[in-house]
Amino acid sequence: MRKRVTPLLSEAQIQTRVQELGVQLTKDYAGKDLVVVGLLNGVFPFMADLVRAIDLDFDVSFMQVASYGGGLESTGEVHILKDTDRSIRGRHALVVEDIVDTGLTLFKVSNLLKDREPLSLRICTLLDKPSRRKVQVPVDYIGFTIEDHFVVGYGLDLDGKLRNLPYVGVYHP
């Protein structure tokens, strides 16, 4: 499987960018009551590195949603497999995602979280593929903007595999 992967973002490039995001988030959320909500499964390596780069006291929580369908593309039907264990009501919520592709997942998730009346709701993604967007979602923090490639590694999977690659690469079927 990994023979079909060509490197796109190295471990070092990712780590440098994650530290930069951490510095920015540390400034933006200083003095605020923050809950960082990671979207499982793909977010786990990014989330682990990002939260350690934010020099503040805050809550860490996870949510897992699934798009119906499967395959390489999401369908827009999102259901909750695991909900957050920390309340975001009256607090600042930062949703962390591995990649924004069509935007459908985050569109649904942010509407759902907005109903819980956080003081603010922002989105941070490691990767953004703007050329594939089907619905507009404001993405506040972006690690890297990439072309329309199917990417794997650093949390991103192909059918559940390749999440453990320490870098991000393009998968060639």
Q: Which residues are catalytic?
A: 101
Residue of the chain from 9, 21, 38, 42 that contacts Mg ion (CB under 5 A): 42
Q: Which two tokens stand for residue 158?
A: 């192909």
CB of 65 to Mg ion, least distance (A): 9
Alpha helix (H) residue ranges in the chain:
11-28, 44-52, 104-114
Can you tell me which residue has the tokens 């934010």?
54
Give the x/- contact pattern for ligand IMP in 45-74, rule: CB under 6 A. -----------------------------x
Under rule CB under 5 A, residue 45 binds Mg ion: no
Residues 122 to 151: which contact ligand IMP by CB under 6 A? 150-151
Please state the three-class secondary structure of 87-117 as a single string: CCCCCEEEEEEEEECCCHHHHHHHHHHHCCC
Name which of ligand IMP, Mg ion, none residue 100 binds, using a CB cut-off of 5 to 8 Å depending on partner kind. Answer: ligand IMP
Q: With contacts defined by CB under 6 A, name the span among 8-16, 53-61, 94-102, 111-119 that binds ligand IMP.
A: 94-102
Q: Which two tokens stand for residue 112?
A: 């759902």
Residue of the chain from 50, 100, 126, 168 that contacts ligand IMP (CB under 6 A): 100
Number of Cβ within 10 Å of residue 15's Cβ equals 13
CB of 102 to Mg ion, least distance (A): 12
Taking the least distance from each CB to ligand IMP, the nearer of 47 and 100 is 100
Name which of Mg ion, ligand IMP, none residue 74 binds, using a CB cut-off of 5 to 8 Å depending on partner kind. Answer: ligand IMP
CA nearest neighbour of 80 among 28, 45, 115: 115
CB of 55 to ligand IMP, least distance (A): 27
Residue of the chain from 99, 109, 113, 139 that contacts ligand IMP (CB under 6 A): 99
Q: If DSSP codes are grouped into helix, strand and coil, which group holds residue 4?
A: helix
Buried b (16+ CB within 10 A) or exposed e, 99-109: bbbbbbbbbbb
Number of Cβ within 10 Å of residue 142's Cβ equals 17
CB of 24 to ligand IMP, least distance (A): 22
